[in-house]
Structure 1
Amino acid sequence: ETKEELKALVEDESIYLGDIDTSKITDMRELFKNSTRTDFSGIEKWDADKVTTMEGMFWGCESFNQDISKWNVSSVKTMACMFAGCKTFNQDISGWDMSNVKNMSGMFYCCHSFNQDLSSWDVSSVEYMDFMFYGCKNLKQSYRIKRR
C-alpha cells in the first residue's frame, strides 16, 4: 500500500487496524492527525520496520492509548509531535530502539497522562528535543539526558 491508501484505510473506522499490511510503508507522518477514531485495537500488530518518519502520527488523537511497545522503530528518524495532544497516552515504550531518531521535538507535547521512564533510550543521535515533554502535567520522571 501507499501512504495515501493507508490513510484511506485508517479513516474507515469499520476496518480493523490489525488487518492492514504496513510492511512496505516508510512514511506514517500525520497518519491519524486529529482523528476522532476511538478504537485503535490491532495497531499493535503493525509492521513498522521500514518506517522512517512518524512525525505527528497521532497528533491530536485525544483518546489514543494503545500498547505499541512491540513496534520496531529502529529505522525512524523523526518522531516530532508523534503523540502531541494524546491526552490519555501512557504506554511503556521504553524498549524502543531510538538510536536513529534525530528529531523528538514535541513528541509528548500535552500528553497529560504520560508518566513513563524513558531513561534507557539511546538519544545520542537526537539533534532536536525542544518541548518534548511540554504540558505533561502528570510526568513524575526526572530526565538527565546523557549523550552516549
Structure 2
Amino acid sequence: CKNIDTSLITDLTGFFIPFSKEPNEFFEGISDWNVSNVESFRQCFAYCKNFNQPLFKNTSNGKDFSMMLFDCVSFNQPINLETSNGEAFYGMFANCSSLNQKIYLDFSKAQNIDSVFHNCTSLKNIPDNYSSKLQSLQETKQKAEEEKQRIEQEKKNTRKQRIIKNVLGAYEMYLSYEELLDRIYKRANSIRVRINGLKAEKKSFENEKRNLEAYEKCIETIENRHTNKDTKALIGVYKSFVDLETLIAFLGKRKRDTDKLLQEQGLSFDIDFERRSHKTN
C-alpha cells in the first residue's frame, strides 16, 4: 500500500474489507496516505484481523469514523487522530481486544459515540473526554425524548379538547333544532285551527286540501329526519308555513266575498269537510 496517490479520495467507507484476510505487511505505508479530503472513514479497516499499522496522519476533514477499526483484534497502536470535525464514532474500536495504548481524540462535535470501546478488553484507561461526552449526549437524548413525549401529550390533550368542543357544539345545535321543531308544531296547530274554520267553494277547498296534505307530509318528513344536519330543511319547511298562512288569508277573503254574493241572490252555500288531526308534542 505504498506510493499510492489518495489526495482526491473523499470516501474510504469499507475500503479494506475485501483485503481483511491479508497479513499485516500488506498494510505497510498506510500512515503516509494523503487523506486530507476524506470525510468518511466508516468501516475503513473493519474485519482486518491482522492489521496493526500506524494510522493516517491528517484526518481533520473526517466526519464519520463509525466502526473504523471494528474487529481489528490485532491492532495496538497509539491513537492521535484529528477528529475535531467528527460527528459519528459509533463502535470505532469495538472488538479491538489487543488495544492498550494512549488515545487522543476530539469528541467536541460528536453526535454518536456509543460503543466506541466496546469489548476492548485490554484497554485500561478510557479517555476522560469520552466519558463526559457520552454522559452529555445521553442527557441530551433523554431531554429530547422527554420533550417528544410532552409534545405528544399536548397533541392528545388538544385532540381531546377538540372532541369535547365538537360534542358541546353538536348538543347546542340539537337544542336549537328542538326549539325550531317546537315552533313549527305550534305554528302548525295554529294553521290547522284556522283551516278548520274555512268554508269555500269546492275548487278552493280542494286546493286547500292539497296544501294541507303537503303540510302533513312535511311534518312526517320532520319526524323521520330528526337529526342535526336537517336543520336547513326544517327552516325551509318553516318558511312554507308562512306561505300557507298567506294562502289561508286569501281563501278566507274569497269565502267572505262568495257568502256576500250568495246572500245578495238569496242563496246559501255551505260545505262541511273533515280534517285529519295531527298529534303534536
- Out of 123, 127, 130, the position equivalent to 1:139 is 123
- Out of 67, 82, 85, the position equivalent to 2:54 is 67
1:108 matched to 2:93? The reply is: yes
Deviations 1:127-147 (A, max 9, x none): 101111111110101332345
> Secondary structure of the equivalent of 1:19?
coil
Q: Which segments of 5 or more consecutive residues in structure 1 lack a partner in the other structure?
A: 1-16
- Out of 30, 37, 62, the position equivalent to 2:22 is 37
Structure with the largest fraction of helix:
2
1:53 aligned residue: 40
- Out of 121, 128, 141, the position equivalent to 2:105 is 121
Count of residues in correspondence between the two structures = 128
The normalised TM-score by structure 2 is 0.44
Q: Which has the larger radius of gyration?
A: 2
Q: Which segments of 5 or more consecutive residues in structure 2 lack a partner in the other structure?
A: 134-281
With a CA cutoff of 8 Å and minimum separation of 6, indicate the structure with the bigger relative contact order.
Answer: 1
Deviating 4+ runs (over 3 angstroms): none
One-letter amino acid matched to 1:45: D
Q: Write the distance in 2 (CA, Å) between the matches of 1:122 and 1:58.
A: 20
The normalised TM-score by structure 1 is 0.81
Inter-CA distance 44–130: structure 2 relative to 1 (3 Å threshold)? same
Q: Write the distance in 1 (CA, Å) between the matches of 2:126 and 2:37.
A: 32
Give the fraction of aligned pairs with identical amino acids, expressed as a percent: 34
1:106·1:133 contact (CA, 8 Å) conserved in 2? yes
* Alpha-carbon RMSD: 1.4
